[in-house]
Amino acid sequence: MQGKAVEELTEDEARAELARLAGAIAAANRDYHTRDAPEISDADYDGLKQRNAAIEARFPGLKRADSPSEQVGAALAEGFARVRHAVRMLSLENAFAPEDVADFDDRVRKYLGLGPEAPLLFTAEPKIDGLSLNLRYVAGRLVQAATRGDGEEGENVTENARTIADIPQHLTDGPEVLEVRGEVYMSHADFAALNARQIAAGEKPFANPRNAAAGSLRQLDATITRARPLRFFAYAWGELSAPLADTQMGAIERFAALGFPTNPLTRLCDGPEALMAIYREIEAKRATLGYDIDGVVYKVNDLALQQRLGFRSTTPRWAIAHKFPAELAWTRLEAIDIQVGRTGALSPVARLLPVTVGGVVVSNATLHNEDYIAGRDAKGNPIRGGKDIRVGDWVQVYRAGDVIPKVADVDVSRRSPDAQPYVFPHVCPECGSAAIREEGDSVRRCTGGLVCPAQAVERLKHFVSRAAFDIDGLGAKQVEAFFADTVLPIREPADIFTLAERDAANSLQKLKNRDGWGDRSATNLFAAIEARRVIPLNRLIFALGIRHVGEAAAGLLATHYGNWAAFERAMTAATVGEGPEWEDLLAIDGVGAVLATSAITAFHQAAERASIDRLVAHLTVEEVAPRGPVESPVAGKTVVFTGTLERMTRAEAKARAEALGAKVAGSVSAKTDLVVAGPGAGSKAKAAAALGVEVIDEDAWLHLIGDA
């Protein structure tokens, strides 16, 4: 289903796919924002977000409560104080093709009720590839600097920001309260010098300038930040006690006058053609700028129009980021290795002759699955013109800024005459069990389950991971060592909770006397494990590593069942495809047949079930309370707009109402709570009167929602 075209998904598949995407996007957000260690490329990330948006557009009713299109960033790193942003820090919608730029212009015009000939100006400026920062000045003094975090709350990095020379500490002019937003970044030259120092000091070099900037700004010790050459460009603002200007360009000029660096390539454009011309100009300069940019940002210039356009849940309607295409390079494919994942998926990995792609040396890349290697998509249609990929081939590697690159293309004209088509294994390379492909699955999976050491160890890694049990001192490396250990082994999650007891009983060699362990680290590990004997239900469900049950889905199951006993009882009693427990499971908004089948199966598979039971015997599982609704005077109400609205377009009214938690319907029925009627309202106002539904005018509506 993962590879299936959005138009072809059934409703159940779409629901399961949205759940999968929510999990994958949440994981990618965590890797990127909290760990500064992205595992997928920006292009792949954008691909996940786009697919999610396309499915939501086709099935609006399936949109999840935790939809990724409603979220900006990710969880915060521990160690910094949290700061609630006075004005949310949002992200930008992406555009990739010239048509997307024309669409953007169209949408803005339509929303504002402007004809195609009405003048409409935009600014265009480089999209800096760094991390955003909010700088708060009160009476001209820098009082706080905060990262974006999840958009609502960021990390307080004030002391670190004070060490950045580009950021003024005092302003001699400007509003009493002024929040300047912009990007912290590192130049190519400074990045190269920093990495040379890292290597000389025996430290790990940074993957790219953005990771170096993020890692440097988010240092608990500001003296380290001071030693790192960070730069800043101002391009936006948060809370203001007085307006900065009437236009975006005016605001940027104001920033420059106040002493902030602003990007010299910022231009004013009168429409999509001019925007495309600037895009090409900036793209041509990209390689010589001396810092990383990953696209061009377009913004409506008139701030009164920006105000009217407002926001969707996480992105403004008045701006868009036009991304550059990914970077490419050709190299030789030396081998194809198969890795076995937690759910048994066999993933082919390309081992490459090392090559530099966009400044980073690449020696591994993903080949996705066997169809991809064979040159066809999940439906059997040719991709890359049907060209297969063989060991020894020259392949094009693709990287959009980050780790795990992909193989995009193959040059068959350079293929050796004795190159053989790649034969994808039908047995698991780790345990020798049959590896099978289920109908409709693009992935071949090992059937060994817990018998397969690769699956067992990957499951354990998942079990101790951050969003699951998050056990300090028990990371992926230690899990591998304990898994292979003969004296004090950990083969399944329950073994973690008997570790201290087994260590104490073993008179031969205690953990504290072993390589890599001391008295302190062993004691700390046992204490960290002890602390996790009490675990929230959602974390436990996620930790079980059931296929299709990601963090978001685990949260849905936990809030629905509330406690472990109820969840376990329901899964045990349930039958796939029928019965009250099955119906009840599918009634959860965001749970589809695929997820439900997988959860039930996990509890009905004898070995797996026994392993779950052994684990839970060691735990106290905390209950999870159901989620509360959005607070606003119209939250949960069904509203109908009718007649001519004079102070806003229909789209604007609908978006505003939905943002406040209301449901906007097209016709009046007994379920309608409120009708907002403008001049010329006809049958709908009459229907409302007949049903006794309250009817108010536009001014009363604006008053009600606090916009009057």
Q: 529 near 500, Cβ under 8 Å?
A: yes
The answer to whether 319 contacts ligand IVH (rule: CB under 6 A) is: yes
Nearer to ligand IVH, 90 or 373 (CB): 90
Nearer to ligand IVH, 64 or 127 (CB): 127
Angle 233-234-235 (CA atoms, 0-180°, nearest 5)?
115
How far is residue 278's CA from residue 574's CA, in Å, rounded to a whole number?
A: 59
Q: Are strands 231-240 and 94-95 parallel, antiparallel or unpaired?
A: unpaired
Nearer to ligand IVH, 316 or 448 (CB): 316
Closest contact distance (angstroms) between CB of 255 and ligand IVH is: 12
Within positions 122 to 141, which residues make up the interface with ligand IVH, using CB under 6 A? Answer: 125, 127-128, 132
The answer to whether 153 contacts ligand IVH (rule: CB under 6 A) is: no
Nearer to ligand IVH, 49 or 64 (CB): 49
Closest contact distance (angstroms) between CB of 23 and ligand IVH is: 21
Q: Which of 316, 344, 358, 590 binds ligand IVH (CB under 6 A)?
A: 316
Nearer to ligand IVH, 132 or 611 (CB): 132
Residue among 49, 63, 110, 127 flagged as catalytic:
127
Closest contact distance (angstroms) between CB of 182 and ligand IVH is: 8
Q: Which of 91, 521, 563, 649 binds ligand IVH (CB under 6 A)?
A: 91
The answer to whether 320 contacts ligand IVH (rule: CB under 6 A) is: no
Closest contact distance (angstroms) between CB of 127 and ligand IVH is: 4
Closest contact distance (angstroms) between CB of 564 and ligand IVH is: 39
Closest contact distance (angstroms) between CB of 662 and ligand IVH is: 24
How far is residue 284's CA from residue 281's CA, in Å, rounded to a whole number?
A: 5
Query: How would DSSP label each residue in 537-569?
Result: HHHHHHHTT-TT--HHHHHHHHHHH-SHHHHHH
The answer to whether 157 contacts ligand IVH (rule: CB under 6 A) is: no
How far is residue 166's CA from residue 623's CA, in Å, rounded to a whole number?
A: 49
Closest contact distance (angstroms) between CB of 81 and ligand IVH is: 21
How far is residue 221's CA from residue 225's CA, in Å, rounded to a whole number?
A: 7
Helix spans in 385-498 (H)? 453-464, 476-484, 493-496
x/- site string to ligand IVH, residues 296 to 315, per CB under 6 A?
-x------------------
How far is residue 457's CA from residue 325's CA, in Å, rounded to a whole number?
A: 37
Nearer to ligand IVH, 28 or 407 (CB): 28
How far is residue 236's CA from residue 309's CA, in Å, rounded to a whole number?
A: 16
The answer to whether 146 contacts ligand IVH (rule: CB under 6 A) is: no
Nearer to ligand IVH, 302 or 608 (CB): 302
- Residue of this chain nearest to ligand IVH (CB atom): 132
Q: 136 near 145, Cβ under 8 Å?
A: yes
Picking from 668, 676, 675, the residue whose alpha carbon sits closest to that of residue 646 is 676
**Six-digit token pair at 115?**
């004809």
The answer to whether 321 contacts ligand IVH (rule: CB under 6 A) is: yes
DSSP β-bridge partners for residue 247: 302
The answer to whether 190 contacts ligand IVH (rule: CB under 6 A) is: no
How far is residue 293's CA from residue 126's CA, in Å, rounded to a whole number?
A: 6
380 Ramachandran zone, left/alpha/beta (phi>0; psi -120 to 50): left
Q: Which of 236, 252, 320, 668 binds ligand IVH (CB under 6 A)?
A: 236
Nearer to ligand IVH, 319 or 675 (CB): 319
Query: How would DSSP label each residue in 161-173?
Result: HTT-TTS-SB-SS
Picking from 435, 443, 434, 394, the residue whose alpha carbon sits closest to that of residue 414 is 394
The answer to whether 546 contacts ligand IVH (rule: CB under 6 A) is: no
Q: 258 near 168, Cβ under 8 Å?
A: yes
**Six-digit token pair at 500?**
């201290």
How far is residue 423's CA from residue 139's CA, in Å, rounded to a whole number?
A: 69
Q: Are strands 534-536 and 620-622 parallel, antiparallel or unpaired?
A: parallel
CB atoms within 10 A of CB 172: 8
The answer to whether 275 contacts ligand IVH (rule: CB under 6 A) is: no
The answer to whether 183 contacts ligand IVH (rule: CB under 6 A) is: yes
How far is residue 548's CA from residue 594's CA, in Å, rounded to a whole number?
A: 8
How far is residue 367's CA from residue 390's CA, in Å, rounded to a whole number?
A: 11
Q: 701 near 675, Cβ under 8 Å?
A: no
- DSSP 8-state class, residue 34: I
Nearer to ligand IVH, 130 or 272 (CB): 130
Closest contact distance (angstroms) between CB of 293 and ligand IVH is: 8
Stretch that binds ligand IVH, among 89-97, 429-437, 548-556, 694-702 (CB under 6 A): 89-97
Stretch that binds ligand IVH, among 120-128, 273-281, 397-405, 407-415 (CB under 6 A): 120-128
127 a catalytic residue: yes
The answer to whether 400 contacts ligand IVH (rule: CB under 6 A) is: no
Q: Which of 9, 24, 92, 365 binds ligand IVH (CB under 6 A)?
A: 92
Closest contact distance (angstroms) between CB of 312 and ligand IVH is: 11
The answer to whether 42 contacts ligand IVH (rule: CB under 6 A) is: no
The answer to whether 657 contacts ligand IVH (rule: CB under 6 A) is: no
Helix spans in 544-640 (H)? 551-561, 564-573, 580-586, 593-604, 606-616
Give contact residues for ligand IVH (rule: CB under 6 A). 90-92, 125, 127-128, 132, 148, 183, 235-236, 297, 316, 319, 321
Catalytic residues: 127
